[in-house]
């Protein structure tokens, strides 16, 4: 009896601190990585401005949220940001369209080398970075409203009689649910609609796609629209779940790239798998397992250290190590994407 | 306009801008900008070797800069003997464990055939090694960081003159670049960019968190200087005499009052120190420029450009593209490492928290692209212009904002907000300059010139 309760406690502990957070963080990464991978598949360059694009989308959502809140449009259960997000998506799509027209289209017509696109995307990154900070400042912003927890740690303890609490935040559930819906819509779009098929054809073989009469400009525009929408969604979900801080979105770039590459670049399914792999590894590697081991180990045994593989500050290292391992073992990524 | 005229014209304009700042704002400000321009010039020359000569997209410039800065600390700070005696032994043990693990790992990799068994052995070796390292390492760091944490709490350095660190910083950055190159070169540029970006982020987190090595976010201050201190100058006889000779008499010929003279001496001391730094930095820039120009015009430079322009053709001619890439990546990183050590020397302190990619990686990129990739003088002028704009954009935008702000009331939230965010206008400006240059003059201010002997 004692043992089984310990086991349940360990399970609750690990769900609370590792499983649930990595599930939601993984969904956020996956949404970002799908955007990166689509842009890579169609436009053939790694978009360094993607993190800032997420920041812009989230910022736009914050502004709409504040506007709605000032008009008194709120909901007691759901965050207002959900209502604000569609408007922000429109704004972000508009921004991306302008950027593509003014920056990237020129190089596409000139058939420039991919690395020129990357440098141009660095320029875009600078501009978006400055723009977001000018508009909203650099401070941390919490724009979540509505109900914070679905299950509170205390209530869970009382309900189950366990000594470990399990808290389930509404944003975590929202993240996973919205990510599933978004991914479902994306695959429906890619597999079933004409434009989606054109996109896949273009990604697989540009020359053949052009030969069969696919309009490249249209494909590119649709790609940007999808990438911008997903970036906004990912940015908002991340911001809701934690908080909005412009610099954090720059640092998300590395795990997002890692996810896209792990899954196989140019492969949306791969990007999703990659997102969860990176998130799980990052959180598992930086979690202190001391308490967990204490529950599972025989009585009166407690590990001396924290049982932590890496200290929390080194979470970048996790994405990087995964990147390197994939590079060495399977450069195509899990789903046999393109070799960079 | 031919290339020579362009060089003369662009450098004259730059000199004129700096002189304007000197007369308009103050000589201290002008020289401070000039010194940072020189350091940036070294950085952009290093990146220019990687990007301009060889076409490598290195997004981890910051890693080289930071390791150069760390070297400056490790070379010049006096050793903390107490920390060595407390944590030296376990630290050596941890290091030995690391070496043994690596040796065993290599042995397993070489001797056992590829397959499941090798993976199993590898995992076992790595895990065992990790446990041993961790035990000794934890003991060592605890012991070291407990020694007077408010003052030192780290191992200190070698206590040598800081100027040696400029060479050591270059070597350290080269070593890091060798490791990075082993892992990530030979793949397409985007992958390399992402990998180097990752390395630089890890490098900074190491510097921020390994307190025993770098004191982490507690920063190392009061580093040794290769030039005299202002306070000493103000006391020394010859300096006072020098200032008196130039500023001792007022316009009408009468001697100036003691108070004014003292103030002039104080200001001049600052200027004098900065001029000393400028001399040192200028020497470094000229030496590197000489080497870089020689290298670029040699058969080696032609080979690099050939590899950059057509990898397939170059490898068909028997050039080992990957190892050449690694070579130029190491050399370029070493140059950037020198600049990193110079930067820490100039600051007199090492602050890991101040390293951010936009400033230390992507700004250097802007310098190279604007100046003209593949042209060393271009890299220098790009560094000068970019740094000048980067620094002067802040007061300029504040000035602009203050003029908009007269229309608004003192406590208007918009006014407060504008005041706060004005510094970020320069980010947009930089991005805009980069995108415009890339679009309209992709060769930069001083284009790479095609050598005559083709």
**Beta-carbon separation of B201 and A127 below 8 A:** no
Per-residue pLDDT band for B327 (boundaries 50, 70, 90) equals very high
Q: With an 8 Å Cβ cutoff, are A339 and B365 in contact?
A: no
Q: A123 vs B205: CB contact, 8 Å cut-off? A: no
Angstrom distance (rounded) from CA B410 to CA B415: 7
Is residue A124 pLDDT above 50, yes or no? yes
Q: Is the pLDDT of residue A285 over 50?
A: yes
Per-residue pLDDT at A179? 94
**Angle, CA of B352, B52 and A105, to the nearest 5°:** 95
* Residue from B116, B176, B424 to probe the interface with A (highest A Cβ count within 10 Å): B424
Tell me, yes or no, if B182 comes closer than 8 A to chain A by beta carbon.
no
DSSP string, A24-72: HHHHHHHHHHHHHHHHHHHH-S--TTHHHHHHHHHHHHHHHHHHHHHTT
**B contacts of A310 (beta carbons < 8 Å):** none
Give the residue from chain A lying closest to B422, CA to CA.
A134
Residue B337 has pLDDT above 90, yes or no: yes
* pLDDT, position B215: 85
From chain B, the residues in CB contact with A320 under 8 A are 195, 198-199, 201-202
For range B70-88, the mean pLDDT: 87
Inter-chain touch A320–B201, beta carbons under 8 Å: yes
Cβ(B79)–Cβ(B159) below 8 Å:
yes
Mean pLDDT of B256-283: 87
CB A240 within 8 A of CB A177: no
Q: Residue for token digits 């590894």? A: A281
Among A106-120, A144-158, B11-25, B37-51, the least confident range: A144-158
**CA distance linking residue B221 with residue B354, whole number of Å:** 13
Q: Are B171 and B75 contacting, i.e. CB atoms less than 8 angstroms apart? A: no
Per-residue tokens: B37:
């321009």
Instruction: Please determine, for residue B201, whether its predicted confidence score (pLDDT) is greater than 80.
Output: yes
Q: Does A325 touch chain B (CB under 8 A)?
A: no
A339 pLDDT higher than 60: no
pLDDT for the residue numbered A91 = 96
pLDDT tens column, B126-162: 888 888 888 888 888 888 888 887 777 788 888 889 8
For chain A, domains (ranges, CATH) are: 2-329 (1.10.3470)
Is B150 or B331 the better-scoring residue by pLDDT? B331
What is the distance between the alpha carbons of residues B254 and B332, in angstroms, rounded to a whole number? 56
Nearest to B65 by CA among B50, B92, B51, B47: B47
Q: What is the pLDDT of residue A340?
A: 40
The band of A131, judged by pLDDT with boundaries at 50, 70 and 90, is very high
Mean pLDDT, residues B5-15: 92
Residues A34-40 have a mean pLDDT of 93
- Name the more confident of B104 and A306: B104
pTM: 0.89
Tens digits of per-residue pLDDT, B289-318? Answer: 999 999 988 999 989 999 988 888 999 999
Question: Where does the pLDDT of residue B453 fall: very low under 50, low under 70, confident under 90, or very high at 90 and above?
Answer: low
Among A95-109, A197-211, B41-55, the minimum mean pLDDT is found in: A197-211
> Hey, which residues 330-369 in chain B have their CB within 8 Å of chain A?
357-358, 362, 365-366, 369
Q: Among candidates A101, A141, A143, which has minimal Cα distance to A124?
A: A101
CB B325 within 8 A of CB B54: yes
How many angstroms separate the Cα of B279 from the Cα of each of A180, B9, B267? 62, 23, 19
């Amino acid at each position: 009896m004692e043992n089984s309760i310990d086991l349940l406690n360990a399970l609750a502990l690990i769900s609370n601190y590792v499983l649930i957070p990595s599930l939601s963080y993984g969904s956020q990464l996956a949404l970002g990585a799908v955007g990166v991978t689509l842009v890579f598949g169609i436009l053939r360059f790694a978009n360094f401005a993607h993190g800032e694009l997420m920041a812009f989308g989230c910022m736009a959502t914050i502004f709409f949220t504040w506007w709605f809140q000032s008009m008194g449009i709120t909901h007691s259960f759901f965050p207002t940001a959900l209502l604000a997000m569609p408007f922000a998506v429109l704004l972000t799509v508009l921004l991306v369209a302008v950027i593509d027209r003014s920056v990237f289209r020129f190089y596409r017509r000139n058939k420039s080398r991919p690395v020129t696109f990357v440098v141009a995307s660095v320029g875009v990154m600078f501009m978006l970075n400055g723009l977001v900070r000018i508009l909203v400042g650099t401070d941390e912003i919490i724009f979540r409203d509505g109900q914070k927890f679905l299950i509170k740690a205390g209530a869970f303890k009382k309900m189950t009689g366990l000594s470990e609490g399990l808290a389930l935040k509404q944003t975590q559930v929202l993240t996973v649910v919205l990510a599933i819906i978004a991914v479902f819509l994306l695959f429906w779009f890619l597999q079933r609609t004409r434009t989606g098929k054109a996109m896949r054809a273009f990604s697989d073989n540009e020359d053949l796609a052009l030969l069969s009469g696919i309009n490249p400009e249209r494909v590119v525009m649709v790609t940007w629209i999808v990438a911008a929408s997903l970036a906004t969604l990912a940015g908002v979900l991340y911001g809701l779940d934690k908080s909005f801080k412009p610099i954090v979105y720059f640092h998300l770039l590395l795990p997002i790239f890692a996810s896209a590459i792990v899954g196989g670049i140019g492969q949306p399914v791969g990007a999703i798998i990659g997102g969860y792999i990176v998130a799980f590894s990052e959180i598992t590697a930086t979690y202190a397992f001391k308490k967990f081991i204490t529950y599972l180990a025989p009585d009166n045994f407690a590990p001396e250290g924290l049982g932590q593989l890496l200290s929390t500050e080194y979470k970048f290292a996790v994405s990087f190590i995964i990147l390197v391992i994939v590079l060495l073992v399977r450069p195509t990524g899990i789903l046999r994407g393109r070799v960079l | 306009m031919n290339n020579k005229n362009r060089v003369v014209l662009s450098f004259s304009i730059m000199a004129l801008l700096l002189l304007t700042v000197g007369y308009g704002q103050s000589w201290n400000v002008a020289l401070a900008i000039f010194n940072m321009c020189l350091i940036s010039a070294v950085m952009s020359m290093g990146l220019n070797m990687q990007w301009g000569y060889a076409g490598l997209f290195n997004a981890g410039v910051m890693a080289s800069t930071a390791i150069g800065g760390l070297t400056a600390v490790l070379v010049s700070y006096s050793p903390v003997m107490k920390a060595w005696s407390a944590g030296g032994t376990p630290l050596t043990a941890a290091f030995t464990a690391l070496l043994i693990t690596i040796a065993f790992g290599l042995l397993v990799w070489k001797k056992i055939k590829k397959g499941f068994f090798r993976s199993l052995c590898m995992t076992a070796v790595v895990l065992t090694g990790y446990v041993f390292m961790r035990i000794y390492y934890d003991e060592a760091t605890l012991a070291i960081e407990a020694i007077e944490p408010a003052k030192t709490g780290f191992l200190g350095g070698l206590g040598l003159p800081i100027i040696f660190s400029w060479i050591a910083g270059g070597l350290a950055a080269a070593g890091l670049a060798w490791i990075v190159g082993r892992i990530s070169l030979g793949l397409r540029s985007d992958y390399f960019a992402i990998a180097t970006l990752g390395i630089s982020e890890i490098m900074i987190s190491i510097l921020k968190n390994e307190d025993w090595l770098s004191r982490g976010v507690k920063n190392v201050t009061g580093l040794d200087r290769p030039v005299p201190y202002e306070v000493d100058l103000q006391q020394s006889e010859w300096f006072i005499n020098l200032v008196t000779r130039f500023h001792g008499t007022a316009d009408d010929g009468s001697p100036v009052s003691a108070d004014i003279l003292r103030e002039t001496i104080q200001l001049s001391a600052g200027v004098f120190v900065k001029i000393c730094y400028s001399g040192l930095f200028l020497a470094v820039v000229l030496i590197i420029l000489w080497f870089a120009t020689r290298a670029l015009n040699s058969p080696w430079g032609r080979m690099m450009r050939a590899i950059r322009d057509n990898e397939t053709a170059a490898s068909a001619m028997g050039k080992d593209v990957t190892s050449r890439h690694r070579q130029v990546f190491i050399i370029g990183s070493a140059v950037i490492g020198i600049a990193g050590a110079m930067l820490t020397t100039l600051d007199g302190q090492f602050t890991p928290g101040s390293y951010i990619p936009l400033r230390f990686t992507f700004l250097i990129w802007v310098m190279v692209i604007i100046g003209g990739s593949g042209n060393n003088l271009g890299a220098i002028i790009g560094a000068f212009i970019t740094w000048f704009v980067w620094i002067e954009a802040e007061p300029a935008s504040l000035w602009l904002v203050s003029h908009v702000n007269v229309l608004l009331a003192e406590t208007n939230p918009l006014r407060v907000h504008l005041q706060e965010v004005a510094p970020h206008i320069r980010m947009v400006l930089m991005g805009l300059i980069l995108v415009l240059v890339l679009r309209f003059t992709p060769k930069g201010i001083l284009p790479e010139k095609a050598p005559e002997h083709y």
